Amino acid sequence: MKIDTYNQEGEKTEQMDLPKEVFEQAFNSDLVHQVIVSMQSNRRQGTAHTKDRGEVSGGGRKPWRQKGTGRARHGSTRSPIWIGGGVTFGPTNERNYKKDIPSKMRKKALKCLLSQKLKDKEIFIIDDLKIEEPKTKIITDILEKLSKEIKKEKFKTLLIVSDKKDDKLLRAVKNIPNIDIIEARNLNSLAVVSYRDLLITKKSIKTIKDVLGK
């Protein structure tokens, strides 16, 4: 499938062919959902922890004698029904949220998402993206020129896919809300669904093809 490419001035330069094996896949919603949920689960730190009755302090002796007081029987102030007692069914840091994602499933889901993004006209190709200084103003001007030519409106949320790490670009993008940058070799399904539009450099297309083709 052919797609227009643009330069940093927002000018159309040529058309390029996108690899069919990556950008022309049928969408599988069940697969995508399973992969996204697994990736979100793997990102959970699992540090939330509440103490049960065996971990809270106090409660060494019986609050009052068993009979004769007219009050309910209690054996410890560490009981969950007491203020300051243990928590019943609370989160514990012993739980493991990790889920295995087979490599084939992960790659297939990413292909499905990229194909759908292309159908929805949410993927744009730029020849290259280089800036001389790590200034937010420079990258903002570039994106404004591109948005006027490509979308006729500003990018609401944008993920820039670069073929290599660029510290200047990273620093320039860092302070812009709803815009992020990622290396092509690290592109994943969760990153793709987190942003509406993708701006991909031409060299990144080959990297994506090589990674997903393995």
For each of the chain's 214 residues, which pLDDT tens digit applies? 789 899 888 888 888 999 999 999 999 999 999 999 999 999 988 899 999 998 998 878 899 999 999 999 999 999 999 998 999 999 998 888 899 999 999 999 999 999 999 999 999 999 988 888 889 999 999 998 888 877 667 788 999 999 988 899 999 999 899 999 999 999 999 999 999 999 999 999 999 999 997 5
Contact present, 173 and 90 (Cβ < 8 Å): no
Full-model pTM: 0.82
In this structure, the answer to whether residues 121 and 23 fall within a common structural domain is: yes
Host domain of residue 84: 48-96
In this structure, the answer to whether residues 105 and 167 fall within a common structural domain is: yes
Q: Pick from 58, 78, 96: which residue ends a domain?
A: 96
- Extract the tokens encoding 74: 């209690």
In this structure, the answer to whether residues 20 and 87 fall within a common structural domain is: no
Per the listing, tokens 């609370």 go with: 90
Contact present, 3 and 191 (Cβ < 8 Å): no
Q: In 46-164, where do the E strands start and end?
A: 123-126, 158-162
In this structure, the answer to whether residues 143 and 168 fall within a common structural domain is: yes
Contact present, 1 and 23 (Cβ < 8 Å): yes
